[in-house]
Chains A and B, each alone.
Chain A
Amino acid sequence: MADGDHGDLRAAVAAGVLGAEDLYAELLRSVVEVARAIFGAKASSVFLLDEEADELVFAAVAGDEEQHLVGMRMPSSTGIAGWVLVTRQPLVLDDLENDPRHARDVAESTGYVPKGLMAVPLLHEERVLGVLQVLDRPRRSRFTLQEMELLGLFGNQAAIALDLLQRGRRARAVLQEGEGAAARLAEAVEALPDERREAGLNLLASLADVLRD
């Protein structure tokens, strides 16, 4: 095996982990900004699921006034975002100011009660990553199924990108544990002479298969 292959492995690891945090924040901002632009809406936000805490985390928002909300947490299965997360079904709601409970809850935390809200689950393969919301799009005419489809398609694209970056973050977290087994394994394989390196990689692949089973 040529020396270049060692470089490829290092490059692949680096691509997976370096800068993941910056990219992650950038992607989240981009998702909400594009969502707001597509529908000409007043605001847009993303809630991500923290499975360990069983909570939804307010992860990004398009609209300067609400930036202080980023990081806020709420129960994972109550309210509209919770319903969308757990049922995995998109929803479009208007005249929300008529709902006294929603208006009170939202106003207490944001000072802003949207009249209308579109919410779509961020689904990738079997996983639900969170919920994308688009607030107060202009009501020019009746809502159409075409808009619903667009919301679903965009949510799907955002989920694919988020899933990719979340995997990168997890990989980095594992590798950053300096004494971690995964880091030591990666170092050991990299240090192998060419003739044994392929066998080492095969062994790791087999181990991964065993762990997956």
Chain B
Amino acid sequence: MAEPEPQQVEEEEEEELPAWSLPADAVGRIAIPVEWPARVDREWAWGGSTGKGVRVCILDSGVEAGHPLVGEVQGPWSVAIGADEEPVVSEDEEGDACGHGTACAGVVRSLAPDVELYSVRVLGAGYTGSGPVLLGGLRWAIEQGFDVINMSLSTTKKQFASVLHELADSAYFRRTVLVASAHNMPVQSYPWRFSSVVSVGSHELEDPFALFSNPEPPVEFFARGVDLDVAWLGGSRIRVTGNSFATPHVSGLCALVMSKHSELTPFQLKNVLYLVSDNVGGRG
């Protein structure tokens, strides 16, 4: 990925609308050479994969590069509100404002050791403006074409819901997988409720590869999120609980699958996650 210059996050330009149809003589040209096995299992999904070649973006509080559990961070970026009240993305020099982004990065690295990690810090610049910063950071991350964006956060503000919805759909069609934390409190929040994202809640098991498909959405998957050992500030490690830590487990699994099967769309990837879930018999 070319290193982008600090830039203002532009509103997406209005695209010229094509007419969607498929003439009979074009059928042969859109053959999709994919070979699906008779049974999708974990060996097929990620056997032998280390996540190599997959770019994972942690949209969070920043990431402490060089932490023993995190390693290299290819691109640390941060989002702030510029002079004209618009979100501006620039290279980040502050690292992690909390520890949480570092924890998430470490979880992804533990499952998919060879991924390229990127950090977009959307927290730490104040509560006021945090909504536009989040939207600006997400829009920018989608524009960069990351393969996976880990979003362990949500907003309860309805005014942001429609823009988040558009961004989530835009990511979906660009083959960027948005993995978002479900809320474990009785409130309406976004973007995890949208069907174009992969939403994640916690289970209590200790196995980092234990994955469950929820037969009663909107939460679609459960991953490890209780009492786990994670990276924290200053090279330290602490124990944590929360859906926000289950989410990078699924991001890591997505990276493993995408490294091996780069042709998959987010929809197909979600199906693979379903097929390899423990409660669907996906352990093989």
In B100-150, the 8 Å CB interface with A consists of: 100, 123-128, 130
Size bin of chain B's contact surface: 35 or more
Given contact pairs A79-B98, A83-B61, A83-B98, A100 touches B236 in the complex (Cβ within 8 A): yes
A51–B127 touching, CB < 8 Å: yes
Judge whether B244 is part of the interface by a CB distance below 8 angstroms. Answer: yes
Distance between Cα atoms of A101 and B97 in the complex (Å): 10
Residue of A nearest to B130 (CB): A86
| Interface mask (B162-187 → A, CB under 8 Å = 1, otherwise 0) | 00000000000000000001011111
B185–A155 touching, CB < 8 Å: yes
B98–A123 touching, CB < 8 Å: no
**Segment among A21-29, A145-153, A168-176, A181-189 that sits at the interface with chain B:** A145-153
Judge whether B78 is part of the interface by a CB distance below 8 angstroms. Answer: no
Judge whether A205 is part of the interface by a CB distance below 8 angstroms. Answer: no
A143–B227 touching, CB < 8 Å: yes
Residue of B nearest to A82 (CB): B98
Judge whether A87 is part of the interface by a CB distance below 8 angstroms. Answer: yes
**Segment among A6-14, A33-41, A70-78, A192-200 that sits at the interface with chain B:** A70-78
Judge whether B271 is part of the interface by a CB distance below 8 angstroms. Answer: no
Distance between Cα atoms of A51 and B128 in the complex (Å): 7
| Interface mask (A77-100 → B, CB under 8 Å = 1, otherwise 0) | 111101101111111111110111
A152–B127 touching, CB < 8 Å: no
Judge whether A102 is part of the interface by a CB distance below 8 angstroms. Answer: yes
Judge whether B263 is part of the interface by a CB distance below 8 angstroms. Answer: no
Distance between Cα atoms of A111 and B125 in the complex (Å): 27
In the complex, what's the smallest C-beta–C-beta distance from A63 to chain B, in angstroms?
22
The listed residue with most A CB atoms (<10 A of its CB), out of B125, B184, B187, is B187
Distance between Cα atoms of A101 and B169 in the complex (Å): 39
Distance between Cα atoms of A203 and B196 in the complex (Å): 45
Distance between Cα atoms of A51 and B224 in the complex (Å): 35
In the complex, what's the smallest C-beta–C-beta distance from A107 to chain B, in angstroms?
14
List B contacts of A144 (CB < 8 A): 204, 226
List B contacts of A60 (CB < 8 A): none
Residue of B nearest to A95 (CB): B238
Judge whether B242 is part of the interface by a CB distance below 8 angstroms. Answer: yes
A54, A83, A87, A125: which contacts B154 (Cβ < 8 A)? A87
In A120-162, the 8 Å CB interface with B consists of: 120-121, 123, 125-128, 142-145, 148-149, 152-153, 155-156
Residue of A nearest to B181 (CB): A89
Distance between Cα atoms of A116 and B114 in the complex (Å): 32
B127–A76 touching, CB < 8 Å: yes
A92, A121, A152: which contacts B186 (Cβ < 8 A)? A152
In B199-246, the 8 Å CB interface with A consists of: 202, 204, 226-227, 232-234, 236-244
Judge whether A59 is part of the interface by a CB distance below 8 angstroms. Answer: no
Distance between Cα atoms of A155 and B181 in the complex (Å): 19
A88–B154 touching, CB < 8 Å: yes
In the complex, what's the smallest C-beta–C-beta distance from A144 to chain B, in angstroms?
7
B238–A96 touching, CB < 8 Å: yes
Judge whether A20 is part of the interface by a CB distance below 8 angstroms. Answer: no
Distance between Cα atoms of A104 and B257 in the complex (Å): 41
In the complex, what's the smallest C-beta–C-beta distance from A125 to chain B, in angstroms?
8
A99–B236 touching, CB < 8 Å: yes
A88–B183 touching, CB < 8 Å: yes
B153–A156 touching, CB < 8 Å: no
Given contact pairs A88-B156, A123-B156, A143-B227, A77 touches B97 in the complex (Cβ within 8 A): yes
Distance between Cα atoms of A46 and B185 in the complex (Å): 18
User: 6 additional contacts, CB 8 Å, given A77-B125, A99-B238, A126-B156?
Assistant: A77-B126, A77-B130, A80-B99, A99-B233, A100-B233, A102-B233
A interface with B by C-beta (< 8 Å): 49, 51, 54, 75-80, 82-83, 85-96, 98-102, 120-121, 123, 125-128, 142-145, 148-149, 152-153, 155-156
Query: Can you list 9 A-B pairs with a CB-CB distance of less than 8 A?
Result: A77-B127, A83-B61, A86-B153, A87-B100, A95-B238, A99-B232, A125-B156, A142-B226, A152-B186
B interface with A by C-beta (< 8 Å): 61, 97-100, 123-128, 130, 152-158, 181, 183-187, 189, 202, 204, 226-227, 232-234, 236-244
